[in-house]
Structure 1
């Protein structure tokens, strides 16, 4: 308990999924939390639920594609709680109908994803860092993705935008470490958020399960707990890192599960 007691956290994309889990865990461990989301009703409901459980939280509308909206969320946090010491840049999006291979992708979609997935991280950090310096330091955590480390047949813009987040994380850590500001990333693999559970067919989940090192899929709290650790002083000597939280899905030679199945069949013959 009280792992982030006294800290003030701004969580973008905090109305649902990973963002919601993180906001709840931060509040449970003593942080004052601002939940910023385009889904303003969901953000308000999330804040009310946290308060009903004894935590401290408020909500604000956020359009992560707009510079002024990001700045407003940061300023609201400081005005409401007096400081800002934790920033979780969590907003991100993808579009499988438009973000295709390099030849066929919609170029407007490329621009949109770079703006929302990468530029929002830049802007959130840009506006938060001066306040963190005044507060004596802080922790910035950015949601990257395993798409930043492993390529795919589609989602070219998404992967590139998240790879940029990984590198931007290092730059922020390097440039502001002497101001006692740490910056780290979290790269989720497949995480069974409510949206994923409702939209991913069982056959697709089976494919992911086949190649996981662990015998289960990730949950939103697996990412939330990682962010909580990075926000806390328990991680005070960690900066510039992106922690891959993906159940070992990308760990082994990709042929390992198939070879195991082949060996199993040969032993049964």
Structure 2
């Protein structure tokens, strides 16, 4: 039985990583998927690959920091498939050089991150309209971006403190998204689901990470 038959899903940031995994898995479960991404060529390639596997997917450009672009992506989805049943708001931003503590953070960077990364109160405001809203809080997931940009020492640091003896993969988040977007989770709303290998049972990596940054900065200087 297809778990997401008759569902129409808009996946932001769906050209790679976690978004791509979720799009592929939901299409495999019968959903019609719109892959929205700033990298529109990557989105088109992802949609073509899903179609080649017998799934239903199309691509659309999205700038998640632009209200008009978001509206266009939603309207495109409804025009394409007649409805929108699920949204996987997967786009997130970070800048390790500017994303500092709350005292020293660049205020323009703070506004940029909040504009793209934050959503609130949807579950309580729209629950009576049969609209559910849940969040997925990933731990370290070995997306291409993580593999290409995180030093091995940092990856080892996270592995050291995971409760499980391995890092997360994009599909670990993708399967969680399939569950939350399907009717199997129809009585779950307003929740944050942690998918992080038990890393945040406690968070002892902070001193190690601070030490790593001190050593790294000393070496660079």
Partner of 1:259: none
Higher RCO (CA-CA < 8 Å; seq separation 6+): 2
Q: 2:149 aligns with which of 175, 191, 199?
A: 199
Change beyond 3 A, Cα 1:180–1:103: closer
Residues 60-109 of structure 1: CA deviation (Å, up to 9, x unaligned):
00011111100000000000001100111111100011111233322111
Aligned positions of 1:57-76 closer than 5 A: 57-76=57-76
Partner of 1:157: none
Q: Secondary structure at the match of 1:224?
A: helix
Partner of 1:96: 96
> In structure 2, how many angstroms separate the alpha carbons of the residues matched to 1:179 and 1:204?
44
Partner of 2:117: 117
Runs of 4+ aligned structure 1 residues displaced above 3 Å come to 252-255
Aligned positions of 1:36-47 closer than 5 A: 36-47=36-47
- 1:31 Cα deviation after fit: 0.2
> In structure 2, how many angstroms separate the alpha carbons of the residues matched to 1:229 and 1:188?
15
Structure 2: give runs of 5+ residues left out of the alignment: 206-221
* 1:250 is the counterpart of 2:190: no
Superposed CA RMSD in Å reads 1.5
Q: 1:187 aligns with which of 137, 154, 167?
A: 137
Change beyond 3 A, Cα 1:203–1:182: same
- 1:253 Cα deviation after fit: 7.2
Q: Secondary structure at the match of 1:183?
A: coil
* 1:175 is the counterpart of 2:112: no
* 1:213 is the counterpart of 2:163: yes
Q: Secondary structure at the match of 1:42?
A: helix
Q: Secondary structure at the match of 1:250?
A: helix
> In structure 2, how many angstroms separate the alpha carbons of the residues matched to 1:200 and 1:32?
34
Partner of 1:227: 177
Q: Secondary structure at the match of 1:181?
A: coil
> In structure 2, how many angstroms separate the alpha carbons of the residues matched to 1:252 and 1:90?
25
Change beyond 3 A, Cα 1:198–1:180: same
> In structure 1, how many angstroms separate the alpha carbons of the residues matched to 2:110 and 2:133?
26
Give the aligned length: 206
> In structure 1, how many angstroms separate the alpha carbons of the residues matched to 2:204 and 2:76?
47
